[in-house]
Amino acid sequence: MLSNIHKIAMVSAIALAGCGVSLAGAETASSPVTDPHFELAPGYLAQKDLPDSLVLLGPPPAEGTATLARDEESRAATIPLRGKPRWDLARTDADLAFPQPAKNFSCAMGVDIDEKKTPHLYRLMQKVLTDAGLSTYGVKNTYNRTRPFVVHNEGTCFPDQEPLLRNDGSYPSGHTAAGWAWALVLSEINPGRTDMLLKRGIEFGQSRVICDAHWQSDVDAGRIMGAATVAKLHTNAEFLADVAAAREELKAAGPVEASSCAAEAAALSAQ
């Protein structure tokens, strides 16, 4: 997410750790945040309406705890995936600059999520990204947890992001918060695809562990913030109207090309 958000809101071409983006709607942010990850469309929620991660989450795992040992075990279990198709998919999931997130969820959604073909759905995903991502920064900035690739002096699946991530708090995962929020909201719009969408949302978060950019406990906490954000969104009239509009445009949307989903399915099945 974004270094000094009030300054960054005035500049363009900030990398999503390798993806050029600019920021808009940053007035919904709370305290200054770090990690210039993605373009912020104006979110649905004002700062005061975002879920409070300082209330919902405890601190990251302490040294010598079973939870930290689990984090290390989870990381070690992903090492054989490096350089494999699942690693490549994790790199794709790391890119939060649109239209990539829309492409990432199109196969699970069963339709091509596209700015022109499904504009309400596309816009909704952009706005949910802002709300879910910014919901993580109370805890993220308080604890500023070191990321696994820094602890182990390694690289990630997205080297261009690494200079930005080195000094950005690892806990909780903002990518995961957004991915889980997307999965929940898209399931609401297209309930017939719920299992596929939730599975993709789970894998989207796990991509952060595979990428060596987050610990497993960061991902687990990110899912809590994603779900909390969606709960808050259901009090917002604009969000509810966009959900209804997205359902309507889905009726006319053509199916996603099955061939375009083959690589993603293969990567997920091979891990």
Q: Are 137 and 52 in contact (CB under 8 A)?
A: no
Q: Which of 218, 220, 223, 242 is catalytic?
A: 218
- The question of whether 175 is a catalytic residue gets the answer yes
Architecture of domain 44-270: Up-down Bundle (1.20)
Confidence of residue 35 (pLDDT cuts 50, 70, 90): very low
pLDDT average, residue stretch 46-71: 97
- CA 41, CA 178: separation in Å to the nearest integer? 13
pLDDT average, residue stretch 74-87: 97
> pLDDT tens for residues 103-132?
999 999 999 999 999 999 999 999 999 999
Task: Point out the least confidently predicted range of 3-7, 93-97, 214-218.
Answer: 3-7
Q: Which of 37, 145, 214, 223 is catalytic?
A: 214
Q: Which of 175, 193, 200, 223 is catalytic?
A: 175
Picking from 181, 219, 216, the residue whose alpha carbon sits closest to that of residue 201 is 181
What's the whole-number average pLDDT of the chain?
A: 87
Say what the pTM is. Answer: 0.87
- CA 198, CA 187: separation in Å to the nearest integer? 7
How much of the chain exceeds pLDDT 90, in percent? 79
- The question of whether 82 is a catalytic residue gets the answer no
- The question of whether 214 is a catalytic residue gets the answer yes
Q: Which of 208, 220, 223, 242 is catalytic?
A: 208
- The question of whether 218 is a catalytic residue gets the answer yes
Confidence of residue 211 (pLDDT cuts 50, 70, 90): very high
Q: Which residues contact 14 (CB under 8 A, 6 or more apart)?
A: 2, 8, 20, 21, 22, 23, 36
